Amino acid sequence: MSRAVLLPVAGGAAALLIVGFVIGAVGAAMLGRDAFLPVPQVHLAPQPIACLGGTMAGTACEGGFAVTNTLLSAWATTLVILLVFVGGTRAMRLVPGRLQSLIEMLIEALYGFITSVAGERNGRRFFPLLMTIFLFVAFNAWMALLPIYPSVGFTAPGADHVTTHLFRSAGTDVNMPLALALVSFAFVEIWGLRVHGIGYLREFVRLGGLFGGLRRLNPGQIFYGLVDAAIGLLELLSHLIRLLSFTFRLFGNMLAGEIVLFMVTFLVIFLAPIAFYFLEILVGGVQALIFTGLSLVFAVMAVAPHAAHDEEHHADAAHEAAR
């Protein structure tokens, strides 16, 4: 960029930054006047915008199914993903166009990542679900940065600003991260059962050593059997705790990003929020990759041979030989 173009651009950016600072909350407080924008309000609970089969009573749905702004956002995200992939693969060509190239590059990158961790056979098994989770989390986070999300909605009687947003990122509603965590948890356990059969449950119910010690009246084996049983309970607890860690990791990061954007825009209206928008683009992709990567690691652990079973058999053989 030439100097003749760079100077006007830099001057315009500096002017916007100064104006945004002056009319924002910081400048308004310094000058002793009201801020240009209203104080942002963050709602932890999703807000109903329609009531199917019932009636809206104020901000509540009575006698029907409440369509919330986060649910509408999830539907919109699903629709956009379908349109992108249908549009990119409807007329596939040997020499791909831009959209087809982008889709192929994304699929190849994620497929390569999954197979590098899980191997070719398990990678093919895990790929459809993990790809879906990645796309949904990423697209949902990126679409929430569109101007329509914070600016379009409904105004309560007597209010002078939007009080109920039409769209709100589904990641800021704890129900969506919890639903994704439940799906990931269920498929991981199903894959483990499909590979190991009913023996997969022996990872959690380790009573063989305890029962063997009771049959032989061997105090040492009873003690180690109790320890092994406790390890099984801890393993079961660790699987259940994944639901909480998955849910609140994604929910916390998405909600924190929304709050940061609201507050920065309120404090300095122009230009400064752009840097945080780029940061949220990065955060959305990172959170999608983390959720997908952890699901992948847990799936690989579920289908891998369980060394604990072999150790249990070796322990029984050792106790028998000592006896």
Q: What are phi and psi of 55, to 5 degrees?
A: -130, 145
Provide the mean pLDDT of the chain.
81
Does 160 reside within a domain? no
Does 11 reside within a domain? no
Does 60 reside within a domain? yes
**164: part of which helix (H) or strand (E)?**
strand 164-165
Does 295 reside within a domain? yes
Does 230 reside within a domain? yes
Does 157 reside within a domain? no
Q: How far apart are CA 167 and CA 69, in angstroms?
A: 5
Name the domain count of the chain: 1
pTM: 0.81
Per-residue confidence at 26, pLDDT binned at 50, 70, 90? low
Does 156 reside within a domain? no
For 175-228, the pLDDT digits (tens) are 999 999 999 999 999 999 998 888 888 888 877 776 677 677 777 777 777 887
Q: What is the pLDDT of residue 311?
A: 45
Q: What is the pLDDT of residue 189?
A: 92
Q: What is the pLDDT of residue 134?
A: 95
For 94-138, the pLDDT digits (tens) are 877 888 888 889 999 999 999 999 999 999 999 999 999 999 999
* DSSP codes joined into one string, 213-226: HHHHT-HHHHHHHH
Residue 307 reports pLDDT greater than 50: no
Does 27 reside within a domain? no
Q: Which domain holds residue 310?
A: 40-91+101-151+171-322
